[in-house]
Structure 1
């Protein structure tokens, strides 16, 4: 029996889905959504808050403020509620309604930015709004997930060692790139461990993280419109870009097998399958990190009208969905 007193005491660290029957490759999906925040972001939030408390930045009466597309905001709202801090999330219209309602249920506030900045898009505008809030009221504490080293340290200390323990002969690790905290923490760990693990970053088409052209991105989570300060490309061995339509198809194909995952996970799985298909014939053991679950995407990725309006009526071709992920 597991008994906890605070929400951060529970996280299913060692849960993997064997995707070989679905994708035809030795690919294991590390599920990071089975905690009270529903995503991997609870790890980074916990590490950043603990460091801020240790350094005396967070104290009674503080109000946490953060720019987030959803999942980190949810995680911070849980921590703020459990520790007695205020919380304000600055986001934009791409943030799922369920995530916004979750943060409000925890007692947090949500500010939605509608107009993109001339440089940096909606993310740039969100960050500018956070800076203005902090300048106007010294109660606000911005942990800044985009530059905070405790973001990647959370995964250096937890996520990567957990994978190494379960897969001592791991060949390749697929990690989605958002703030790049998970990516950098895992990549640094395996590089310093002197193991021949190839770290492959998975990014969304339209993201500028790795120098790509900015473009429309409607699915929150992975990708950025401002290059993350945490990113050090020297730790990344390979890179895969995924179209949002492929993210949608991957999510629906997994759902047809009973696994309801979120958009970030669909992107990572799609990218992993594409990469493994290009390396067919090699006897590789591969792990992909699934950052989130799918419940918060029921009104978007899993809603037909939303999909058809953005990606066309053929985005979910019935014949394709009847096939497995080998066709991704």
Structure 2
């Protein structure tokens, strides 16, 4: 089915709509109308002696370089009335990509933006947020703590109390998060996907992306299994929290958007397998993805190994690898994770039955530059 136009965007061939009286709504509508369709790439691999096809939707090929661009536009639209007050300040907790998108949107709207962050955030994203005029407000959570998100949320509430006209879009509980993916991201992916696909894989953090995808695909393709991919130590679906290093996937609390009907299966992958998948994919196809996308691929490979009947799957990849040169793709960072830097030695982490990926129609994606040893986060 053709993708539906996101709310606020012009329908091709229709008469142009008059500009919105609210400048925030008008800006969001124009940004949505100009937003490109993000590409899909097909790769092939052999698992348990069976050829498999993976269709990856590369959301990093978009404004602000991640799927969080769509989320940010929807969140800003949902609080447009509050942002019309002179001196309004947008405040949000973020592990990285949402903060980058919000900082760019707020810059264009002339709004102040404060991103509440912790030390796990990519230095590249930190610099980009500040280059957009955003402010970083750090929480000092210890490295081995499991309370990064809770500490960030506590700080957001303090800022909301103390800053005049502070507006918190609240990506964790605002239904604008998942609705944009049901009405926009999912129909777009559906239109690009092969009708033979048997399963859909997406990572979870707030759960908004997966909730939107699930609602759409449950209606349009009820035979497609919806598989949530999380990382060990996350409590999005409950369980005991433990320290984690990857950003953009996992959380220290349950998702407000997902319930038992949202998914058919939940896979929790080892973060080291996720990182190894990033390197294996880059080595074999030239496509460099971020850590959350690596986790999605790791979960997908594990699932395919256990399900020989599944031959074609869809994977939502939230971003590319360009922001992760100092972390996921840095030898010193890999060493602290107990992983070798050589792709050949990393490969076994992706699953013993998977010999690698073969690009079917995938032009190479530039690999992230590897900074010096001194630039790697400690």
Work out which of the residue numbers 236, 252, 256 in structure 1 matches 2:279: 252
User: Structure 2 CA distance, aligned partners of 1:75 and 1:67?
Assistant: 13
Tell me: CA distance 1:71–1:138, structure 2 relative to 1, closer, same or farther (3 Å): same
Work out which of the residue numbers 72, 76, 83 in structure 2 matches 1:58: 83
**Could you tell me how far 1:14 is from its partner in structure 2?**
4.4
Work out which of the residue numbers 7, 30, 43 in structure 2 matches 1:19: 43
User: Given the alignment of the two structures, is residue 77 of structure 1 paired with residue 77 of structure 2, yes or no?
Assistant: no
Query: Which string of whole-angstrom CA distances, capped at 9 and with x for unpartnered residues, describes residues 184-213 of structure 1?
Result: 001111223362221000001110111122
8 Å CA contact 1:246, 1:270 repeated in 2: yes
Tell me: CA distance 1:266–1:235, structure 2 relative to 1, closer, same or farther (3 Å): same
Tell me: CA distance 1:283–1:231, structure 2 relative to 1, closer, same or farther (3 Å): closer
User: Given the alignment of the two structures, is residue 268 of structure 1 paired with residue 292 of structure 2, yes or no?
Assistant: no
Higher-Rg member (1/2):
2
Match of 1:110 in 2: 136
For these two proteins, the number of residue pairs brought into alignment is 320
Query: Which string of whole-angstrom CA distances, capped at 9 and with x for unpartnered residues, describes residues 239-295 of structure 1?
Result: 111111101100101111211111111111111111111111x15431000000101
Match of 1:127 in 2: 153
For the residue of structure 2 that corresponds to 1:225, the secondary structure is coil
TM-score between both structures, scaled by the size of structure 2: 0.79
User: Structure 2 CA distance, aligned partners of 1:107 and 1:297?
Assistant: 21
* Unmatched runs of 5 consecutive residues or more in structure 2: 1-26, 357-378
**Could you tell me how far 1:50 is from its partner in structure 2?**
1.1
User: Structure 1 CA distance, aligned partners of 2:92 and 2:287?
Assistant: 30
**Could you tell me how far 1:140 is from its partner in structure 2?**
1.1
TM-score between both structures, scaled by the size of structure 1: 0.90
8 Å CA contact 1:7, 1:36 repeated in 2: no
Tell me: CA distance 1:28–1:230, structure 2 relative to 1, closer, same or farther (3 Å): same
For the residue of structure 2 that corresponds to 1:95, the secondary structure is coil
Instruction: Please identify, of 162-171 and 151-160, the stretch whose mean Cα deviation from structure 2 is larger.
Output: 162-171
8 Å CA contact 1:219, 1:263 repeated in 2: yes
Q: CA RMSD in A?
A: 2.5
* Unmatched runs of 5 consecutive residues or more in structure 1: none
Match of 1:212 in 2: 239
8 Å CA contact 1:66, 1:142 repeated in 2: yes
8 Å CA contact 1:11, 1:34 repeated in 2: no
